[in-house]
Structure 1
Amino acid sequence: MDSKREFKALRIYEQEGKFIRRIEKRKIEDLPEGEVIVNVKYSSLNFKDALSVAGNKGVTRKYPHTPGIDASGIVEHSTSEKFKIGDEVIVTSYDLGMNTDGGFGEYIRVPADWVVRKPQNLSLKQAMIYGTAGFTAGLSVERLLSAGQTPEMGPVVVTGALGGVGSIAIAILSSLGFEVIAATSENDGGEKELHELGAASRISREISDDQSGRPLLKPLWAGAIDVVGGNVLSTLIKACQPMGNVTCCGNIGSGDLDGTVYPYILRGISLIGIDSQNCPMELRQKVWDKLASEWNVYNNKEQVIESSLEELATYIDLMLTKKSRGRVIVKL
């Protein structure tokens, strides 16, 4: 492959403490080392991408940088026996888009161990409608089921219900027969979207973010998928029914977790951590295969926005101000 080939990418520069966005031309030879070069067809916007654009050093240490923790596309060069030219693949997680140039460019070069073979019954576009958010939602559901969660136990709460992870988790859980309670940070609209996703009801911030300080609350749900962290996660644990399961995959509210041991030793609650970034490949492929088959239920077109690189700035700013809804995919 011609190392001098040019392609378009969104680059973030650090200048005197400020972070500047530019769309510019790059060359294949500028990409980091790796066994596989992928011509990116689609990417998607995630909270980590927005943080990288904003200069969060906990996500990206060195600039200039190309964000984009998700990518789907076609292999154009490979020195690995695992992949050949023309293979359609998915690359998410690991270090992509964090400190390794990511999917907001028309080409990426990555280690072969980061690459997932795209299931045949999932298009490149559908793969990015799911992306890291969908994979995280699927992994959360998979871990709940593996822990023994069943619809018969009672309702499951999903926080961040109008966001990427939350909306897809609701759709999957609902398709599996679970009664889903949607928890959002605000109550100004969204009822139509939540109903179409499959949510049975919605709770206010006052319920999902208890401020009483009590170590245990009246049981209100049988399990939960949380993207918020902090006091919201603490509330979900304290109000969970005996032998219920709560997954944790995010910290958009806070990275802190206050509480006591009582929910665990008096009710047998299980807190399950979700690490989508370093998930083992066998489990990763299993979840992607389910997202391409029995869990391929997220088909609400109104919740999916397709953006170009040039239009992406608007959606990044919405995400940084926690006003984004559904999924934003990027067509390269």
Structure 2
Amino acid sequence: MNKSSYKALVVEETEQGYVRSVKSRTVEELPAGELLVRVAYSSLNYKDALSCIGNKGVTKHYPHTPGIDAAGIVEHSGSSEFGEGDAVIVTGYDLGMNTAGGFGEYIRVPAAWALKLPTGLSMREAMIFGTAGFTAGISVSRLVERVRPDAGEVLVSGATGGVGSMSVAILSRLGYRVAAMTGKVEERVFLEGLGAGRILPRQSFQESTDRPLLQAQWAGGIDTVGGVILENLIKSIHPQGIVTCCGNVASADLHLTVYPFILRGVSLVGVDSQHCPMADRIRLWEKLADAWKPDMLSSMCTEIFLDDVDACVDRMLAGKLKGRLLVNMQS
């Protein structure tokens, strides 16, 4: 290891609220773990933004360094499965929640949280995917089990967000016809560049109705927002179709009858990337590194540095970002 001190974004709880600043830390302050990793890239996710503003449902104790994603090089290993110099990916588990995360130049984690960077994927590309892309990958993997590309259109909600935009791009890569639902219709060019065949305004899905079923329109759906939008999507899925859900930014409530499930055979599948088993992680990352990697992956992100994260947190919470935000941790 070249140095014992490093830079990290630190969120502190003060009498005036939660304050974010880049500070110098030492590796001795990091938690226990078999792997010490020099972080090359991270990414900004919605969960990171919540940790940055003191959301105790995400992070219980402060001061804290968020960052639920990290890709980097192992500098010290106490595990026979990893050696010094190995490039690794760490996403999910407790990283960046209550364990110091990827917004620091170093992390120390259990070896069970890490996987070796797959062939065909750079560390930069891995963090363009990050948790959002990995979550999209899980969603797509569940959808393709039930829905063939020729079965009809697949609707993706929150399509300009991290998970949504990645879902659009991966589905398009696999030959699906994708309809992108968004509150940012001005981003038509961005979404069409990802492969969306139709752009639909969010307002058309936000009207609540007591009707147990709506006209069947979609072969399947990937929902990232929850609430009424998820309700209406489930009600309008073709027989034997599937909807995956992974977010609740619109609402955590869901008001439905059983009719979509017992009259049309619709499946609702929840997606949790945090606790995905390692064997499944490895298989999915190998797909993302190869057949599922969008051609336009590098153009799907905005690259920033650690000093930029503070301002971008506020923009993310205000819904002013699109695609992925890649954090270059190399100084």
TM-score band by shorter chain is over 0.9
- 5+ unaligned residues in a row in structure 2: which ranges? none
Match of 1:168 among 166, 169, 185: 166
> How many residues of Structure 1 are paired with residues of Structure 2 in the alignment?
329
**CA pair 210-153 structure 1, distance change in 2 beyond 3 A:** farther
TM-score normalised by the chain length of structure 2? 0.97
Distance 1:190 1:256 in 2: 28
Question: Does the aligned pair in 2 maintain the 1:168–1:298 contact within 8 Å?
Answer: no
Match of 1:197 among 169, 194, 210: 194
Q: 1:163 deviation in Å? A: 1.0
Distance 2:96 2:12 in 1: 14
What is the SS of the residue equivalent to 1:190? helix
Letter in 2 for 1:248: C
RMSD: 1.3
What is the SS of the residue equivalent to 2:80? coil
Question: Does the aligned pair in 1 maintain the 2:125–2:298 contact within 8 Å?
Answer: no
Q: 1:279 deviation in Å? A: 0.3
Matched, 1:255 2:252: yes
Residues 98-149 of structure 1: CA deviation (Å, up to 9, x unaligned): 0000000000000111001111211010000000011001111011112x21
1:30-109 alignment to 2 at 5 Å? 30-109=29-108
Question: Does the aligned pair in 1 maintain the 2:35–2:109 contact within 8 Å?
Answer: yes
Q: 1:301 deviation in Å? A: 4.3
Match of 1:331 among 317, 328, 331: 328
Residues 195-237 of structure 1: CA deviation (Å, up to 9, x unaligned): 1100000112233223222111111111100110111111110
Distance 1:295 1:67 in 2: 28
Q: Name the residue aligned to 1:276.
A: 273
Question: Does the aligned pair in 1 maintain the 2:160–2:184 contact within 8 Å?
Answer: no
Distance 2:137 2:113 in 1: 18
Question: Does the aligned pair in 2 maintain the 1:227–1:251 contact within 8 Å?
Answer: yes
Overall identity of the aligned pairs, in %:
53
Residues 267-301 of structure 1: CA deviation (Å, up to 9, x unaligned): 00000111100001111111100010011115254
What is the SS of the residue equivalent to 2:290? coil
Residues 63-82 of structure 1: CA deviation (Å, up to 9, x unaligned): 00000000000000111111
Distance 2:160 2:295 in 1: 13
Distance 1:173 1:329 in 2: 22
Q: 1:261 deviation in Å? A: 0.4
Q: 1:158 deviation in Å? A: 0.5
Q: 1:314 deviation in Å? A: 2.1
Letter in 2 for 1:65: H
Question: Does the aligned pair in 2 maintain the 1:196–1:300 contact within 8 Å?
Answer: no
Distance 1:160 1:21 in 2: 28
Q: Name the residue aligned to 2:243.
A: 246
